[in-house]
Amino acid sequence: MNVTNLTKIALMAMARNKMRTFLTMLGIIIGVASVIAMLAIGQGSKKSIQAELSSMGTNMLFIRPNSDMQGGVRMDMSSMQSLKIEDAKLIEKSCPSVAAVSPLVSSNGQVISGGKNWPTSIQGVSSSFLSIRNISVKDGVMFSDQDVLRANKVCLVGKTVITNLFTDGSSPIGKTIRFKGIPFIVIGVLSEKGQNNFGQDQDDIILAPYTTIQKRVLAIQHVQSIYASAINENASTQAIAEITKALRASHKLKDSDDDDFEVRSQSEMIKTFSSVTDMLTALLASVAAISLVVGGIGIMNIMFVSVTERTREIGLRMAIGGREIDIMFQFLLEAVIISLVGGIIGIILGVLASAGVSTIMNWPTSVSSMSIVLSFLVCVATGVFFGWYPARKASYLDPIEALRYE
Amino acid sequence: MDEIIIKIENLKRDFLVGSETVRALRGVSFELKKGEFLTIMGASGSGKSTLLNILGCLDKPTSGNYFLDGVHMASLSKNDLARLRNHKIGFVFQSFNLLPRTSALENVELPLLYNSKVSSKERKERALEALKAVDLIDRMGHTPSQLSGGQQQRVAIARALVNDPVMILADEATGNLDSKTSYEVMDLFQSLNQKGKTIVFVTHEPDIATLSKRTITLRDGHIIKDSPVENQKLAKWFLENLPVNGD
């Protein structure tokens, strides 16, 4: 018995029951298509979050006050005042792995220009902030260190602020906008960054010297957080260690005390978000994998029905010279062909569905060749696994009994 | 023409039913020469079916010898028996056993699909030839449901012929057919026999036996009669003399 003949026999048997073959296949098709689509959605969001975080600067470090105990009460982070301008200066001076530092103080409120107003937040930073956060200036200039020193009332604005305040399309540079009653002169326009994955509009931003915000808007001495950048991506860990050491010394913490601040690197954030999306992907894929298993059980079920229904046929095939192994391979081949063809159709549908999801729902998707190869192999394994038992059952039939079967 | 195809010596077959041993064949011996047309008769329970299964290499005897075309069957494995059935025996069943929704041609090709030495071209040629021998070449694309009972049995006979067996084994091959169609099918068997095919026909109908050349009658696992048929009748004669129904 050769494989060509066996394949022909199996195909003929399947062609005799087209509808049943198709419905059995459908289980596999849906299973594989959903595995592919789910993996694509999971992988896609992972990739785009990674790209998003990288675009904010892979070398970025973020220092904020840690939630602290005050008389047994855990304090809200924003009320913490443990970070000072001196800390930022100290980091810049004493940490060799840190390239740039910018303190951050921000305030929320209405910004007014002419008759228009817009709710936004104003960020007080130093001029290093642009390089740390990978932001560039489209028009005009960044404020200088002199502006910071003198707490000048100048600012740079993002696209969203411009479109809401300067509806006539005129250039905002040189115009005055008011934030909490304080006039700022617009000296620059930031280039567009669009929405990030968390739905935040990155262009809804106003940058001003941190001294101006501290003294004129908030009237505070501390800073809310500090941004810094490591000299390169690999130096992040080293930079964190240096910053921690410097800040612990300047905050006069004893060895037994916890840090009253927290240093995070962007690469850590990427890892954190990746693990979240990985978990999400695994969850989606396992739900889809269950449907693939259900499809496999469908094959097994149909193969059992088929073996019983075709008992006489099996008896005949044995009588005219089919060996046990021929019968076994015929049924095994039927199961494998169903799962294989179903798998291929499923892969195609899965890829199409992923493309559909990314165009219609605007979700990022990414079909990896690994997931295609994997689901293809799983399909073959499903066919063999769930086809084996019914096929063996068929091959063990006694031809005399089988021929007499009603 | 005196070549011996079947040689059976003291064949016994016991079945274990529960704790009791049922002795279906209690010592059967006969020889069959090439070109014979043998009917095996007997009431139900006489051991007829058991003998047929052993002759068809579907079952093995408990003791005794069976040589088919010189091959000692007891020494063969299951796979060898399958090959033997594929090469040397053509089965015709009472209920035709054609594959449904499959064309006559493909049904006839089926035994050759299990013979890897036959190419697909040769397979088709031989199937067409077999269909020609049963005069159904114009129905080769029809499925069993599009054929009458007699035509279905002729397709089954073509399927039994296609591997050029040393013997055609028919099990009540006319049992599901009306008498006119039965005679047509018997006529086909007779003409095949005339062309040299060896036929073993198991039946319980005495007038079918009169159409063969030799009859073996079984009772309780023994051969009680083994005699040539004197003045063999022709199925054609019956066909021509069927009473015409005036309705």
A319 Cα to chain B: minimum distance (Å): 7
Q: Note the pLDDT of residue B157.
A: 96
Average pLDDT over residues A319-328: 93
- Any bridge partners for residue A139, and if so which? A189
Q: In terms of CA atoms, which chain B residue is nearest residue A11? A: B102
Burial class (CB within 10 angstroms; exposed 0-12, middle 13-18, buried 19+) of A18: exposed
The tokens of A400 are what? 């005399």
Residue A49 pLDDT exceeds 90: no
Q: How close, in Å, is residue B106 to chain A by CA atoms?
A: 9
Q: How far is CA B85 from CA A74, B53, B91, B106, in A?
A: 88, 11, 9, 19
Helix (H) or strand (E) run with residue A26 in it: helix A18-55
Instruction: Please state the rounded mean pLDDT for residues A125-131.
Output: 90
Q: By three-state DSSP, how is residue B36 classified?
A: coil
Please give the average per-residue pLDDT across A1-7, as a whole number: 78
Is B91's CB within 8 Å of A320's CB? yes
User: Could you tell me if A312 and A403 are in contact, meaning their C-beta atoms sit under 8 angstroms apart?
Assistant: yes
Buried b (16+ CB within 10 A) or exposed e, B7-40: bbeebebbeeeeeeeeebbeebebebebbbbbbb
Q: What local confidence, expressed as pLDDT, does residue B92 receive?
A: 95
Give the pLDDT score at A198. 67
pLDDT at A69 over 60: no
Question: Does residue B129 lie within any of the structural domains?
Answer: yes
Q: How many CB atoms lie within 10 A of CB A272?
A: 12
Q: Do A12 and B159 touch (CB under 8 A)?
A: no
Structural domain including B106 reads 35-59+76-240
Say which of A313, A321, A399 has its CB closest to residue B111: A321
Q: For A326, which residue in chain B has the nearest alpha carbon?
A: B114
- Enumerate the H helices of A253-360 as residue ranges: 266-309, 311-319, 324-356
User: What percent of chain A shows pLDDT beyond 90?
Assistant: 34
Q: What are phi and psi of A88, to 5 degrees?
A: -60, -45
Of A319, A324, A325, the CB nearest to B56: A319
Encoded tokens for A146? 């002199």
CA angle A315, A316, A318 (to 5 degrees): 65
How many domains does chain B divide into? 1
Q: Which of A165, A164, A186 is nearest to A176 (CA)?
A: A186
Q: Do A324 and B78 touch (CB under 8 A)?
A: yes
Q: Residue B44's pLDDT is what?
A: 86
DSSP-based three-state secondary structure for A209: strand
Contact between chains at B116 and A2 (C-beta distance less than 8 A): yes
Query: Mind telling me how many Å the CA of B242 is from chain A's nearest CA?
Result: 33
Residue A192 has pLDDT above 80, yes or no: yes
Comparing CA positions, the residue from A203, A201, A181, A180 lying closest to residue A192 is A203
Give contacts of B104 with chain A, Cβ < 8 Å: none
pLDDT attached to residue A384: 92
Total beta-carbon pairs less than 8 A apart between chain A and chain B: 69
Tokens 């059992």 belong to residue:
A304
Please answer whether residues A388 and A344 qualify as being in contact, where contact means their C-beta atoms are separated by less than 8 angstroms.
no
Phi and psi for A259 in degrees, rounded to 5? -60, 140
pTM over 0.90: no
Which residue(s) pair with B218 in the sheet? B223
Residue of B nearest to A315 (CA): B97
Across the range A292-311, mean pLDDT stands at 90
Cβ separation B114–A326 shorter than 8 A:
yes
pLDDT tens digits, one per residue of B141-192: 999 999 999 999 999 999 999 999 999 999 999 988 998 999 999 999 999 9
- Using one digit for the tens of pLDDT, what is the confidence trace for A219-235? 888 898 999 988 887 78
Interface residue of A8, A16, A316 to substitute, partner B, most B CBs within 10 Å:
A316
β-partners of residue B9 are B65
Rounded Cα gap, residues B147 and B156, in angstroms: 12
Residue A293 has pLDDT above 60, yes or no: yes
- Whose tokens are 């030839």? That residue is B129
Distance CA B47, CA B24 (A): 5
Q: Which residues pair with A189 in a beta bridge?
A: A139, A157
Domain ranges of chain A: 3-52+272-404, 67-259
Dump pLDDT digits (tens) for A246-271. 888 888 888 888 888 888 888 777 78
Dmax of chain B from CA atoms?
59
Of the candidates A68, A106, A123, A42, the one whose C-alpha atom is nearest the C-alpha of residue A367 is A42
**What is the pLDDT tens value at each position of chain B, 247 positions in all?**
468 999 999 999 999 988 999 999 999 999 999 999 999 999 888 999 899 999 999 999 999 999 999 889 888 999 999 999 999 999 999 999 999 889 999 999 999 999 989 999 999 999 999 999 999 999 999 999 999 999 999 999 999 999 999 999 999 999 889 989 999 999 999 999 999 999 999 998 888 899 999 999 999 999 999 999 988 888 888 888 887 765 5
CA distances to A11, A24, A375, B37 from A341, rounded to whole Å, are: 12, 11, 12, 50
Mean pLDDT value across residues A237-252: 88
Question: Which of B69, B56, B238 lies closest to B160 in space, CA to CA?
Answer: B56
Q: Do B99 and A324 touch (CB under 8 A)?
A: no
Residues of B in contact with A312 (CB under 8 A): 95, 97
Across the interface, of B58, B99, B115, the residue whose CB is closest to A319 is B58
Question: pLDDT per residue over A86-106, tens digit each?
Answer: 888 888 888 888 889 999 999
Residue B72: other Cβ atoms inside 10 A = 11
Per-residue pLDDT, averaged over A337-351, amounts to 93
Chain B residues touching chain A at CB-CB below 8 Å: 53, 56, 58-59, 78-79, 82-83, 85-87, 91, 93, 95, 97, 99-102, 106, 110-111, 113-116, 120, 159, 163
- What are the chain B neighbours of A16 within 8 Å (beta carbons)? 99-102
**Does B172 map to a domain?**
yes
- Per CB-CB distance under 8 Å, the chain A contacts of B111 are 320-321
In this structure, which amino acid lies at residue A261? Answer: F
pLDDT at A56: 72
What is the token pair recorded at A401? 């009994």
Alpha-carbon gap, residue B235 to B211, rounded angstroms: 7
Determine whether the interchain pair A319/B85 forms a contact, defined as Cβ–Cβ distance below 8 Å. yes
Among A292, A294, A325, A303, residue whose Cα is nearest residue A389? A303
At residue B242, the pLDDT reads: 80
Q: Taking CB atoms and an 8 Å cutoff, what residues of chain A touch B110?
A: 317, 320
Closest residue, chain B, to A327 (C-alpha) = B114
Average pLDDT, chain A: 87
> Is residue B192, in this structure, part of any structural domain at all?
yes
- Order of strands across the sheet that contains B63-68: B20-33, B4-17, B63-68, B71-72
Structural contact between residues A118 and A216, judged by C-beta atoms closer than 8 angstroms: no
Has residue B184 been placed in a domain?
yes
DSSP letters for A148-168: HHHT--EEEE-HHHHHHH-TT
pLDDT over 80 (residue A343): yes
Q: Which of B15, B44, B58, B79 to mutate to test the interface with A (most CBs of A within 10 A)?
A: B58
**Cα A187 to Cα A103: distance, rounded to the nearest angstrom:** 20
Distance set, CA A91 to CA A78, A126, A247, A264, B177 (Å):
21, 14, 8, 14, 104
CATH of the domain at B43: 3.40.50.300
